[in-house]
Amino acid sequence: MDSENLNLLSLQPGDKVVLTDGAVVEITDNPGDGVWVFGRYLAHPDAAKVEAAEEQPIFAQDIQGVQR
Amino acid sequence: MTNLSSLVDLKNGTISREIFVNDEIFKQELGQIFSRAWLFIGHEDLVPNPDDYFVSRMGTDSVILTRDRQNKINVLLNSCMHRGMKVCRYDQGNTRAFTCPYHGWSYSTDGRLVEVPGELVGVPGFGPYYHEKLDKKNWGLIYCPKVVNYKGTIWATWDANAPDFLDYLGDMKVYLDAALDHRDGSPGGSEMIGGVQKWRVKCNWKFAPENFIGDMYHDISHRSVDLVGIGPSGGKGRRDKTIGRTTVSFDDLGHGIIGTLPYREEFPYQETFKNHPEIEDYLKEVYDRRLKNLGDRLRVNTSVGTIFPNMSFHGRQPRTIAVFHPISPTEMEMWRIFLVDRDSPQALKDAARHYYMRYSGPGGMTESDDLENWQYATEASAGHVARRYHYNYQMGMGYAEPVPELRGAWNNGEYSEGNARAYYKRYLEFMEGRDWDGLMAASRAHGEARSDA
Amino acid sequence: MLESQDAKLQELLLQREIEQFLFEEASLIDERRFKEWLELLTEDIRVYVPIVRNVRYDQAELERTKEFKDTCWVDEGKETLTQRVQQIATGLHWAEEPRSRTTHLLTNIRLAEISPDLSDPREVQVRLNFMLYRNRGQVETDFLVGKRFDRVRKVDGAWKVARREVHLDQSVLLAKNLTTFF
């Protein structure tokens, strides 16, 4: 699945998504606006961002697809 | 800026029709009054839980009333900082973030993510397109610097220099309390019946607050409903009688009421729901509690009142809050919400709800006639020749008596236009562009509030 | 085969009967024959018009205010409807003096439920769309458009309206008042 076919409304907390920059994010909250979800980095090209473990807003078009 | 002193002639008690129909004056009202004064935004029952929101208005601006995850109530300008799109096009709901559907900027009130309410949390392409050079902290939604929750009613002002809400209210507070407190005299305790009536009326917005500030003289408007009799007791007339009714104005603040002077001994119990014995029993019990709770403390009864500039309320039957949002010089959007005591029996809530709706709102048998009068008064005043002439506000000039128990209050008698004159005196002070020191000096000269008021 | 043809015919006749009743009922309002109109309402009539709100796709339960609980535009029975007719008759009800001109257009009429059954219809749920046009004075014009959920009941051999729920397609009411009848 690529991002153009992904309706953000279908994402649930716990789902994992891969971003276009290679990062992997676990969804923590879906505000339901169809544009953003909140999540934590499980993997990121910049390791510091994973360690911070802070909730980040993730933009729809930055999501490559859902990690199965 | 138009100099209004010749249009609002308080010495002679006349006011030009221009202030009710003129575009330039309307714009000046938005700047001098609606951008500075404390405005009624909504009721806390509209946002009971974290992330709940309700879209309201301040002047011609759409604003979002929201309760954040830290339980703080915020008021945000409902317009994206990037291209102005409405970030919330719903009337109410629950959301973690307000996301603009245009380019995707997203704003939050969650204190764990942001330092100020409505700060930007999501900017698409913040790294790749903005090169992280957008100052997110400076581009959050505009928020009201001052917001208060007064006994469940939410008020806000755009002006950080505005005085505290209680100063703005002055001793008008006792009359507002009479509407918001429990019928048994204990503070607060009212709840809002769900749903807000919102409707458009082609009249100048000031007709409404002027009506509710103390216009007993327009009683003839309601002759038809008096003849039919829709009162809560099912009897004659249209509402409960207020014993000792008069009009009281707060001339230095622009507020006023129809109701009673302060008193210390409760009036004898009046049956108001004779058709509903179980309600009558509850109300009698509430009356007995009121005697005990209030003892010989100062109290008042409020039939109706206006808090400057555009909020009015009915304190007894019906118990309701009305707001008059300016749309243009000749159109307003009127809102009504209805209140009941939170712990009252369902039968009373139901009876009250039915009574409120047959009395007030666009379907109200009383209010519908007011709306006709306000609309066609506005239309007829807009004529080119009509505009040259002033309205007459001379009734009862020079007959007001001070109310010793309340700071800056005047008893104008049951039938008088003293309250309307007080309203337009305040209107003129705002429209002249006085600063807050100038606006509050006369009221502050009366000193501190009494401890038992 | 013939039996089902009969049933279809019977349903058609009932549909026609109910439509004619609703058309006549509406024209009594438009012709200002309000007292005769009141007689076409059952004693336990309920007219209920909830307020509609703009809500997100997943918060649909908030879309209309709740019956028996929330504020609405109209929520009343025969007593208040009768008082409204009396109010207009005083000649002093300024919102309707001079009288407004109204026209009800009723369309898309469907019989949703027939009780107890088609052979002995005593109560029928009817769904329809309506447009209520109002003009008063010179230029004041309101278009109230929406769906109606009516319940009609046979009382002493004649149809009467027992319930009318009206879903208006306006969240901010664009009429200054509601002094006509749906």
In chain B, residues with a C-beta closer than 8 Å to the C-beta of A61 are 124
CA–CA distance, B245 with B264 (Å, rounded to integer): 15
Quickly state the pLDDT bin for A5 (edges 50, 70, 90). Answer: confident
Please tell us whether the domain made up of B39-146 is placed in CATH 2.102.10.10: yes
Closest-CA distance of chain B to residue C157, Å:
32
Option in A29, A31, A61 nearest B124 (CB): A61
pLDDT digits (tens, 9 = 90+) for C48-76: 999 999 999 999 999 999 999 999 999 99
In chain A, residues with a C-beta closer than 8 Å to the C-beta of B96 are 29, 31, 38
Neighbour subunits, B (≥3 Cβ pairs < 8 A)? A, C
Residue at C27 is within a domain: yes
Mutation site, B90, B113, B132, B136, interface A, largest A CB count within 10 A: B113
Strand order in the sheet with C41-50: C72-76, C41-50, C158-168, C140-155, C120-136, C101-117
Q: Do B121 and A59 touch (CB under 8 A)?
A: no
CA–CA distance, C37 with C40 (Å, rounded to integer): 5
What one-character DSSP code corresponds to residue B362?
T
Tokens at residue A44, please? 């990121």
With 0-12 / 13-18 / 19 or more C-beta atoms within 10 angstroms meaning exposed / middle / buried, residue B100 is buried
The residues, ordered by sequence, that sit 6+ positions from B433 with a Cβ below 8 Å of its Cβ are: B1, B32
Q: Do B354 and C76 touch (CB under 8 A)?
A: yes
Say what the pLDDT of residue B240 is.
67
Q: Do A55 and B113 touch (CB under 8 A)?
A: yes
Domain map (residue ranges) of chain A: 3-66
pLDDT digits (tens, 9 = 90+) for B362-371: 999 999 999 9
Say if residue C6's pLDDT is above 60. yes
**Closest Cα partner for B54 from A35, C71, C54, A32?**
C54
What one-character DSSP code corresponds to residue C65?
P
**Closest Cα partner for B23 from B326, B425, B421?**
B326
Bridge partner residues of B68 (DSSP): none
Q: From the CA atom positions of chain B, what is the Rg in Å?
A: 23
3-class DSSP state for residue C145? strand
Which amino acid type is present at position B121? Answer: V
Option in B96, B124, B125 nearest A31 (CB): B96
Residue ranges for chain B with pLDDT beneath 70: 232-237, 240-241, 450-453
Which amino acid type is present at position B70? Answer: Q
Quickly state the pLDDT bin for C2 (edges 50, 70, 90). Answer: low
Closest-CA distance of chain C to residue B72, Å:
23
Option in B99, B113, B124 nearest A33 (CB): B99
Chain B: residue nearest A33 by CA? B99
Q: Do B121 and A57 touch (CB under 8 A)?
A: yes
Q: Do B90 and C175 touch (CB under 8 A)?
A: no
CA–CA distance, C23 with C28 (Å, rounded to integer): 9
Mutation site, A38, A61, A62, interface B, largest B CB count within 10 A: A38
Residue at C180 is within a domain: no
Tokens at residue B97, please? 């973030």
Q: Do A33 and B121 touch (CB under 8 A)?
A: no
Residue at C123 is within a domain: yes
Say what the pLDDT of residue B236 is.
62
Option in C56, C74, C140 nearest B93 (CB): C56
CA–CA distance, C124 with C127 (Å, rounded to integer): 10
Residue at C17 is within a domain: yes
In chain A, residues with a C-beta closer than 8 Å to the C-beta of B95 are 31-33
Closest-CA distance of chain A to residue B129, Å:
13
User: How many domains, chain C?
Assistant: 1
Neighbour subunits, C (≥3 Cβ pairs < 8 A)? B
Mutation site, A30, A36, A55, interface B, largest B CB count within 10 A: A36
3-class DSSP state for residue B232? coil
- Burial pattern B210-233, b for ≥16 Cβ within 10 A else e, equals bbbbbbbeeeebbebbbbbebbbb
Q: Which CATH class is domain B171-444?
A: alpha beta
CB pairs B-C closer than 8 Å: 134
Q: Do C83 and B365 touch (CB under 8 A)?
A: yes
Option in C53, C83, C173 nearest B91 (CB): C53
Chain B: residue nearest C56 by CA? B90
Least confident range from A10-19, A43-52, B45-54, B252-261: namely: A43-52
Half-sphere CA count of B131, side-chain side, radius 13 A = 1
Residue at C179 is within a domain: no
Tokens at residue C40, please? 């076409």
C141 touches chain B (CB under 8 A): no
Say what the pLDDT of residue B189 is.
84
CATH number at residue C47: 3.10.450.50
Chain A: residue nearest B87 by CA? A33
CA–CA distance, B7 with B30 (Å, rounded to integer): 18
pLDDT digits (tens, 9 = 90+) for C94-131: 999 999 999 999 999 999 999 999 999 999 999 999 99
Closest-CA distance of chain C to residue B170, Å:
32
In chain A, residues with a C-beta closer than 8 Å to the C-beta of B113 are 55
Tokens at residue A12, please? 């649930």
**Closest Cα partner for B255 from B322, B303, B305, B321?**
B305
Chain A: residue nearest B88 by CA? A33
Q: Do B372 and C177 touch (CB under 8 A)?
A: yes
Please tell us whether the domain made up of A3-66 is placed in CATH 2.30.30: yes
Tokens at residue A6, please? 């992904």
Option in A29, A32, A59 nearest B122 (CB): A59
**Closest Cα partner for B231 from B275, B175, B181?**
B275
**ipTM tops the 0.85 cut:** yes
Mean pLDDT along residues C30-54: 98
Chain C: residue nearest B352 by CA? C71
Closest-CA distance of chain A to residue B89, Å:
12
* C180 alpha-carbon distance from chain centroid: 11
Place of tokens 């245009």: B102
Least confident range from A9-23, A34-48, B139-153: namely: A34-48
**Closest Cα partner for B170 from B254, B246, B247?**
B254
**Closest Cα partner for B443 from B227, B183, B254?**
B254
Option in A29, A35, A62 nearest B106 (CB): A35
Q: Do B104 and A31 touch (CB under 8 A)?
A: no
* Chain B residues touching chain A at CB-CB below 8 Å: 95-97, 99, 101, 104, 106, 113, 121-122, 124-125
In chain C, residues with a C-beta closer than 8 Å to the C-beta of B373 are 94
Closest-CA distance of chain A to residue B102, Å:
10
Say if residue C159's pLDDT is above 70. yes
Tokens at residue B141, please? 């939604």
Place of tokens 């759409």: B62
CA–CA distance, B327 with A46 (Å, rounded to integer): 52
Q: Do C71 and B368 touch (CB under 8 A)?
A: no
Residues of the domain holding C101: 2-168
